[in-house]
Amino acid sequence: MDDLSLEKIEISGPTLASLIQRASSSPSDVDGLIFGQIHRIVSSNLSDDSPADFASSSSSDQIVATVTSFICSGKTVSFYDPLGRVDSRRIDSLRVDSPDHLIGWFSARRKTANRPSMRELAVTSSLSSQFHLPIEDSQNPKSTNMASSVFFLLTTPSTNQCIHTHEYRAYQFLSSKQRLEPRSVAIVNIGPAFRGHYGSFSPKSGFPPLICELSSSAMSVDCDESSLSAKKQSAKDQKEIDALAEGLQVGDLKRLVGAEAANYTGGIEEMYERMLAKIESLASDVEKSSARVFEQEKHNRKLRNRVARIGR
């Protein structure tokens, strides 16, 4: 029996960004599991010009895999042995409760060619032989099973570059041919048509800790009365800006991703608008004071020149 071929593999922008970030922040190469769904999309070419054209209308179906989440193991050879044989018990220990199915796995490595290795081929073959998933089909209630055959490969350029980039490719494993064939990747972007992807996104790997600490080694300098008043004014302005961000904690940034994002981002944007307005007001005051200082310096220079001419 021939393998069912995927038309393309879809992944939302936040999911792909989280996957790349997880791979880049790891101290070494990593791998993990990919979850999602496989849908059969039926498209019909109908014409109402004439009955003959209607009778000759045709329909075609496409199979699309949608990646919704992933689990990163933090290392390599996490759910398989060095020979590429998958251990289902390790997979059960890695995966968490998820409404989506296991559709494949990913491998992220540094400074290597962007093509699958022999071991990655063996792992994908072993995984597809052990795990199958149903194809969601709204037209046909009898679902068809398909092998778990999606593979993502993330690499970095083998040569040193000024800009750090990541390359990624998606593959489908064909059991009848025992090979990995590349498939196009569709990144779901912002827009009303893709709002459901963003609302249902839930990262399976935690975001890296955000370290926010104030420097304790502040330099002590002698200041006169004018600099002291300037510091007091600066502290007052800083308190006003801090008051705008009152109640916002760094840990709350995780709410920017998920079901609460639509309600939470509005408050964040309003806070930044008020902060930008305050900073713009402060910048205007600095510009005016700088102009007054410049005028005073010019006046002092004229006085010095006048005194120098009188002294001669």
Find the CATH number of the domain harbouring 142: 3.40.140.10
The strand pairing partners of 179, in sequence order, are 174
- Is 36 within the bounds of a domain? yes
Is 89 in the same domain as 15? yes
Total domains present in the chain: 2
pLDDT score at 7: 87
Is 195 in the same domain as 238? no
- Is 3 within the bounds of a domain? no
- Is 143 within the bounds of a domain? yes
Give the Cα separation of 13 and 9 in Å (integer): 13
Is 153 in the same domain as 242? no
pLDDT score at 172: 93
Is 191 in the same domain as 237? no
Is 149 in the same domain as 255? no
The residues of the chain scoring below 50 in pLDDT are 1, 46-48, 50-57, 200, 214-223
pTM: 0.55
- Is 128 within the bounds of a domain? yes
- Is 184 within the bounds of a domain? yes
Is 78 in the same domain as 147? yes
Residue with tokens 């800083």: 238
- Is 249 within the bounds of a domain? yes
The domain boundary residue, chosen from 199, 219, 252: 199
- Is 285 within the bounds of a domain? yes
Is 193 in the same domain as 245? no
pLDDT score at 34: 92
Is 172 in the same domain as 293? no
Is 18 in the same domain as 139? yes
Tokens (6 digits) for 301: 């220079």
Is 68 in the same domain as 175? yes
Is 173 in the same domain as 290? no
Residue 141 domain boundaries = 8-49+56-199
- Is 181 within the bounds of a domain? yes
Residue among 203, 198, 209, 206 at smallest CA distance from 250: 209
Is 235 in the same domain as 155? no
